[in-house]
Structure 1
Amino acid sequence: MVVSRATADKVRDRADIEDVVNDYVPLKKKGQNLWACCPFHNEKSPSFSVSPAKQIYKCFGCGKAGDPIQFVMDIEGVGFNEAIRHLAQKYGIEVEEDKAVTPEDVQAYNERESLYIVLNYAKDFFVKNLQTEEGRAIGLSYFKERGFNQAIIDKFDLGYTLDGWDHLLTAAKAAGHSEDILLKAGLVLQKEGDPSRIYDRFRGRVTFTIHNLGGKPIGFGARILTQDKKQPKYINSPETEVYHKSDVLYGMFQAKKSIREKDNCYLVEGYTDVISMHLAGIENVVASSGTSLTENQIKVIKRFTDNVTVLFDGDAAGIKASLRGIDMLLEGGLNVKAVVFPNGDDPDSYSRKVGSQVFAGYLSDSAQDFIAFKISLFAEEAATDPVKRAELIRSVILSLSKIPDSIIRSVYIRQSSKLLEIDEEIIHVELNKILLKVQKDQYFREQRDQQDQPDFAPPVDLFLPTEEEKVPYSTQLEAQEREMMRMLVNYGFEMVSDELSVCEYLLQETEDLEFSIPVFNKILGIYKQALSKGILPQPQYFLESNDREVKQEVINMITKKHEISKLWQERFQIFTTTEADDLAKSVYDNILRLKQKVVKKMLEEARIKIKSAQDQNEDAGAMDEKLRVYMELKRYQVEIDKQLGIVISN
């Protein structure tokens, strides 16, 4: 259910950025702001700034920024409504639901809440079953054999399902839960051919509760303990409204805080691997729960860290079959390392065999970056077989092509060249072939989707640099657009004369301008909409927007990394001039510079058109018109440069 605007406004009014951030990281005062080491990335010196006056935070290292609500969204990995509820609970604010929702919205919300409630009931039911005679003899003894103590059993909500057809069904119905909700939660099944026959999905198995990021139970994994070969070893909850396997990593709820602190995520295969590592004192670990890694799971990891260490069982064939997961992690923008356990061991068995201290040391000492790992994996068979060696080189280059960051990719290219003993230029050539093919394939897909023409072919020079990409003033123009928007947001409500405000002047002078950066057009639209309602927006107006991109950009506009010390003026009598001291001139010069950059860009485009007309031998009339446009722009440029005090030399 959507939280009402009134509740969100109460939370905004009550929530204090210093108070909220202090729940997670200790802040120290320096100047007007508070500072800390950023909780979102690993750093040694503080670059995370909190402004109590503006009620915002900004990290000058990783760029994260926002208000108290956004901070909770970022730090907890939750959505807007969940963040509002979190802060409402902190400040004792009653949460009201949005009255403007449809009956369908209410029904969908109620059903989701019912699923959460019945899944939590099932979790408690399974946990309590461990204390029954059957549960102690079978379920609890299994966990004890694996070295799981009561604290870890409680931490992960481990449980047991009694060996019978309808223990959960009967108890849940007696507690007021309907068969329909139990079916939708995947806790019970209907017998094929006889829908009236309903029975428990999980029977005579130990259970592993699967939580969402907020800690709510959303599904279960259940392991059989008998040697019945007709039954699968594990049964998992099916897809439901609240459980999507491709979006969930087992143990992420218990691991997310440690992953942030350690700035690394260990990735394992199964439930017991995760739990055993927690027993060994290593909490920054999650599992893909036996399924192939997905893009959405990778995105979940990236919320908390950019670094992943994949732990592999000591089985060479299994490792080679799992390499696709590493390429997916690379493609997702993560930095990947790998650890291989001795043959026959997995994280669970090895940690129990060697103990916590040795296990932690092994993880640290054995971690290899993905290039060294991949090469070592195939080194022996590639050493004497030229074909295998060529396959290894191609495989490494394919992995390199998955890395989106060009700087990181170049570092790995150099390393690969040394380890593979192959010329760096050859790697670049082969890599460019792959990247070009990927670009072309993507283009064809987009064109087929847009035009529904399977045989559509791009122009021959499509993948050569376009003339527009060669224009040297585009970056300068974007920077000046940002300056203009910064002036509007920071000073729009100020007056440049007795009758004219900054916003009136800026909006008049840029009336026909379409910004090249989309978010600026978005901010401008919000600004004009506010004016139409009789509101002259100040920075806080934009910080109350639900648009994260807008808030981020506005925070960038109103925050400064460095402040001029008050001692300069108070003690040393050193006075500095700021743009606000002569606002009229600052705004006027800003507009002139923006127009200057626009005209320069238009001049460059005009030159290109003239060159193209010359190359194609266009008729004199067309050429004269292009020259006339160019000269008119040139005169306009000279006039602007004069007003800016720029001396033109030919």
Structure 2
Amino acid sequence: MISRETIDDVKNRVDIVDVIGDFVTLKRSGQNYKALSPFTNEKTASFYVVPSKGIFKDFSSGKGGDGITFVMEHEGMNYMEAIRYLAKKYGVEIKEEAQSQEYALQATERDSLYIVMNYAKEHYKQRLLHTEEGNGIGLSYFRERGFNDRTIEKFELGYAINAWDDFNKRALQEGYREEMLDKAGLIIKRDDGRFYDRFRGRVIFPVHNLAGKVIAFGARILTKEKDQPKYINSPETEIYHKSQVLYGMFQAKNAIRREDSCYLVEGYTDVISMHLADVDNVVASSGTALTEEQIKLIRRFTENVTVLFDGDAAGVKAALRGIDLILKGGLNVRVLLFPDNEDPDSFSRKMGSTAFKQYLKDHTQDFISFKIDLHAKEAGQDPIKKAEAIRDIVTTISLIPDPIKRSVYIQETSQLLRMSETVLLSEMNKIVIGERRKKDQDRGREVQEPPPDFMNEPPVTETKTDENTMVQLQERESIRLLLNYAETHYDEQRLVDFMLAELDDVEFTDPILKEIYQGFKDGAERGEVVDTMYFMEHGSAAVKGVVAELTTPRYEASKHWPEKNIFFPHERELLHDLAYTNVLRLKFRVIQKLVEDNKAEWRKATTEEEQEKHFTIHEQLKGAEKELAVILGIVVNKG
């Protein structure tokens, strides 16, 4: 167990902008920062970071909390793993205490997979550097490609001994369970129930997540065996989903953010060779077809992508597929096609660092000119093929979600092809409208065609009444005021003292809001200041999420408004009236709910005595409701 002293030291050093900035490109918005959600595939920014309070809030997914919470949510870590990660980031020495058996048993399968994958990484590194076979085969291969010691360490490259159970045998000796090695995809079960190593006689390329943890491996064979694929990769596990990962992103993310640009290549060695050529802002799809999740991952750090592809027919086809998908994801795309029989790996080694970087700069094309050049070669003088090519180019432009960018590209295409802009625009609009109609029809079918067992489903009943909803909305406003202004001066006391006294007879109905309110009450009894950071320290995950949401401002006044004589009071200036009115409104909503609850019980009454009791309660509640309504200026019915 990590000591309390270490945890406190880590918390004191955490800079939430610095922490989240490792995973998301943040843009300043007034005193705060905003970005696209790293948890959902959104088109407009709804992810906010408030440095002054040390919190983030993602209004798209509902997640929120402090820097530690973000690392846990984003990387799937538990609390202690997140502390270890941040301790390493900030150079905090970890002091540990004896771990109880009960805590050890609480380790999840996910935690165990990370531990196993880290062990495997160290095993393969040891085999590469400290065995005769690893040196003679694996290290020689890396040296031939120009990989130096720094690069080998940077990407944590390794080698798997060409034996059926070298890894499995050693892992078992170290106390790892075969069941977990199997779940991690490191060993494979035979028909007879015994296991053998998945990776044998291959150089190893570890795949990292954004936090630098190894989640999978790619392995390349160096011999020419006909029955063996060139590359084999880890299977999908709880911590590895290949459609959501890009090789080299951990090593490239800072450079991508710094350059505001990302190079996209195909394989492991392409990435590493470009790093050797001092081009660090590069990632690879690792031989798999590009996915929407991978594009979303790039978009966290930049909106500018340059796709680098081999100069052969297969490379061209892959480039075209990739361009369309990237454009659809809202990114700006440029393309570079290498000469025939060349790829980023071979070409960078052949040219050297300076010449290679200059080549990238000089030969990168806009996707429009790339497609026009490509189709011009294929179509020649054939008018039918020319028409098909133009329609294909317009179809690609129609995929761009931003209508302004679409219009600009249509203008550029019109100039390059010397065609009427009106004709191109008309064709594009047909495509866009057609796709829209198709989506609407698909959505209609989804609604009209319920699953086969739909009719057997029990009817859904609404459990939350309107009165409950209104009460909880007012409870929420009460908590918002407390979180933002608890220590603010209110008459001769603090606002928290006023609200706790006025709401002493009110029982909160929402369990999370109730927990927060109780935190304020307990703090007042102990004489402690309870604020946002208190709940980030002591609150549950649900509490942290609500606190982050209620203390994160989504909008800021324009700094140019005062120049235009546009002024409005800050909420703090209206706080006296806001707090007083809120207390009255909450009590008013509680009474309305009690009225409805009493009516429900009244209807069930079977004796005259019970009916008389509920009638008396009803009259008292309606009297209180009327008094509050008069103060608030609300008209209520007499029922």
Scaled by the length of structure 1, the TM-score of the pair is 0.65
- In 2 relative to 1, CA 134–420 (structure 1 residues): closer, same or farther, beyond 3 Å? same
CA RMSD across the alignment: 5.1
**2:590 paired residue number:** none
Equivalent-residue separation in structure 1 for 2:286 and 2:515 (angstroms)? 49
**2:113 paired residue number:** 115
Cα deviation for residue 306 of structure 1 reads 1.4
Q: Deviations over 1:21-53 (max 9, x none)?
A: 79989xxxxxxx98999999xxxxxxxx99775
**1:254 paired residue number:** 251
Cα deviation for residue 424 of structure 1 reads 2.0
Cα deviation for residue 16 of structure 1 reads 5.8
Amino acid at match of 2:154: K
Aligned to 1:240, what secondary structure does the other structure show? coil
315-324 or 214-223, which moves further after superposition? Answer: 315-324
**2:135 paired residue number:** 136
**2:124 paired residue number:** 126
> In the alignment, is the contact (CA less than 8 A) between 2:22 and 2:253 conserved in 1?
no
Q: Deviations over 1:425-462 (max 9, x none)?
A: 222222222222222222233333333169xxxxxxxx
Counterpart selection for 2:574 from 571, 576, 583: 583
> In the alignment, is the contact (CA less than 8 A) between 1:312 and 1:340 conserved in 2?
yes
143-152 or 427-436, which moves further after superposition? Answer: 427-436
Amino acid at match of 2:226: K
Aligned to 1:115, what secondary structure does the other structure show? helix
Equivalent-residue separation in structure 2 for 1:357 and 1:13 (angstroms)? 43
Amino acid at match of 1:392: A
**1:157 paired residue number:** 156
Aligned to 1:345, what secondary structure does the other structure show? coil
Equivalent-residue separation in structure 2 for 1:289 and 1:335 (angstroms)? 21
Counterpart selection for 1:422 from 404, 419, 424: 419
Equivalent-residue separation in structure 2 for 1:144 and 1:368 (angstroms)? 33
Which residues of 2 match residues 605-624 of structure 1 at below 5 A? Answer: none
Amino acid at match of 2:116: V
Aligned to 1:239, what secondary structure does the other structure show? coil
Equivalent-residue separation in structure 2 for 1:332 and 1:22 (angstroms)? 22
Cα deviation for residue 539 of structure 1 reads 7.2
- In 2 relative to 1, CA 134–527 (structure 1 residues): closer, same or farther, beyond 3 Å? closer
**2:610 paired residue number:** none
Equivalent-residue separation in structure 1 for 2:106 and 2:238 (angstroms)? 10
**2:147 paired residue number:** 148
Cα deviation for residue 309 of structure 1 reads 0.8
Which residues of 2 match residues 142-291 of structure 1 at below 5 A? Answer: 142-191=141-190, 193-196=191-194, 198-291=195-288
Aligned to 1:195, what secondary structure does the other structure show? coil
Equivalent-residue separation in structure 1 for 2:10 and 2:138 (angstroms)? 48
Which residues of 2 match residues 511-590 of structure 1 at below 5 A? Answer: 551=548, 554-556=551-553, 562=559, 578-579=569-570, 583=574
> In the alignment, is the contact (CA less than 8 A) between 1:486 and 1:557 conserved in 2?
no
- In 2 relative to 1, CA 280–74 (structure 1 residues): closer, same or farther, beyond 3 Å? farther
**1:446 paired residue number:** 443
Cα deviation for residue 289 of structure 1 reads 0.8
Cα deviation for residue 350 of structure 1 reads 0.5
Amino acid at match of 1:583: L
Cα deviation for residue 403 of structure 1 reads 1.3
> In the alignment, is the contact (CA less than 8 A) between 2:50 and 2:552 conserved in 1?
no
Amino acid at match of 1:121: Y
- In 2 relative to 1, CA 581–181 (structure 1 residues): closer, same or farther, beyond 3 Å? closer
Cα deviation for residue 491 of structure 1 reads 6.6
Counterpart selection for 1:373 from 365, 370, 373: 370
Is 1:335 the counterpart of 2:323 in the alignment? no
Cα deviation for residue 337 of structure 1 reads 0.9
Aligned to 1:199, what secondary structure does the other structure show? strand
Cα deviation for residue 339 of structure 1 reads 0.9
541-550 or 306-315, which moves further after superposition? Answer: 541-550
Cα deviation for residue 492 of structure 1 reads 9.2
**1:512 paired residue number:** none
Equivalent-residue separation in structure 1 for 2:480 and 2:321 (angstroms)? 45
Aligned to 1:194, what secondary structure does the other structure show? coil
Aligned to 2:215, what secondary structure does the other structure show? strand
Aligned to 1:450, what secondary structure does the other structure show? helix
Q: Deviations over 1:273-304 (max 9, x none)?
A: 01100111111111111111112111221222
Q: Deviations over 1:374-423 (max 9, x none)?
A: 11211223341111111112211221122112222222222122222222
> In the alignment, is the contact (CA less than 8 A) between 1:159 and 1:207 conserved in 2?
yes
Between the two proteins, the alignment pairs up a number of residues equal to 508
Cα deviation for residue 487 of structure 1 reads 9.2
265-274 or 444-453, which moves further after superposition? Answer: 444-453
> In the alignment, is the contact (CA less than 8 A) between 1:298 and 1:329 conserved in 2?
yes
Is 1:302 the counterpart of 2:293 in the alignment? no
Aligned to 1:556, what secondary structure does the other structure show? coil
RCO higher in structure (CA 8 A, sep ≥6): 2
**2:385 paired residue number:** 388
Equivalent-residue separation in structure 2 for 1:525 and 1:420 (angstroms)? 64
Amino acid at match of 1:170: K
- In 2 relative to 1, CA 349–22 (structure 1 residues): closer, same or farther, beyond 3 Å? closer
> In the alignment, is the contact (CA less than 8 A) between 1:277 and 1:283 conserved in 2?
yes
Equivalent-residue separation in structure 2 for 1:232 and 1:22 (angstroms)? 39
Scaled by the length of structure 2, the TM-score of the pair is 0.66
- Identical counterparts, % of pairs: 47
* 5+ long unaligned stretches in structure 1: 26-32, 41-48, 59-64, 455-482, 506-523, 566-575, 592-639, 641-650
Amino acid at match of 1:112: R
Q: Deviations over 1:205-253 (max 9, x none)?
A: 1111112222222222111111222211111111222222112111111
- In 2 relative to 1, CA 37–263 (structure 1 residues): closer, same or farther, beyond 3 Å? farther
Cα deviation for residue 563 of structure 1 reads 11
**1:408 paired residue number:** 405
Aligned to 1:304, what secondary structure does the other structure show? coil
> In the alignment, is the contact (CA less than 8 A) between 2:397 and 2:409 conserved in 1?
yes
